Structure 1
């Protein structure tokens, strides 16, 4: 039991902080590496050979490759991120707008369709039987 307590106190608090800092830096490094690799594949202004060259450089010599990529293409990397975010937001807004205008049946909400049917019935354009059949079809 004494050896267990001795082993637990043998690792000072400063070493714990240092280990946590190293772990954080490793996670940060892998995040940056994956971010750059995805940017290489997402870039439309690079040819296939250019993408292969950057990928080889980033994988074979990671520290030099990542720093060189950030220096050479860091500004355009940020612009591509902004363009991707704007494109995603525009697609999301278009989807919401389309879903709001078409409703569940594709031609408007149930309430709108029922109001149109009631208006047609009041004008005498459809009979009571036709109104009831159309209403049942909408509500089913």
Structure 2
């Protein structure tokens, strides 16, 4: 078993695609203290239920945050809510959704008051993201 590809967003936060129960056990064993689920339940058939994943994560001593975001429709307010989670969560942390893209968008929006759009685009590109439309949104004046 191997974990989904991890994208490094900061020293304390990584993002990835959908996690399984096995992935959560492996992350807990690696010392991850917080999981942030950015995927709505029942987005696609066969997707693990967030409540069962939350129960598992919490049984392993991890913090769990559920901030579901509709794919392709990440709002500034959701980025602000993500920023609040980042301020209070134990670290290190992993955020996940279907592919990890929403997590990257939320992270960038959570940082938009402290960092320039160009700086955020560079950070997302370094993490392996290629989202030209979202990059334009970040750099729009």
Asked whether the two chains share a fold, i.e. TM above 0.5, the reply is no
Structure whose residues are more often helix by fraction:
1
For normalisation by structure 2, the TM-score amounts to 0.24
Q: Give the structure-1-normalised TM-score.
A: 0.25
Considering only CA atoms, is the larger Rg found in Structure 1 or Structure 2? Answer: 1
Structure of higher RCO (CA pairs closer than 8 Å, 6+ residues apart) = 2
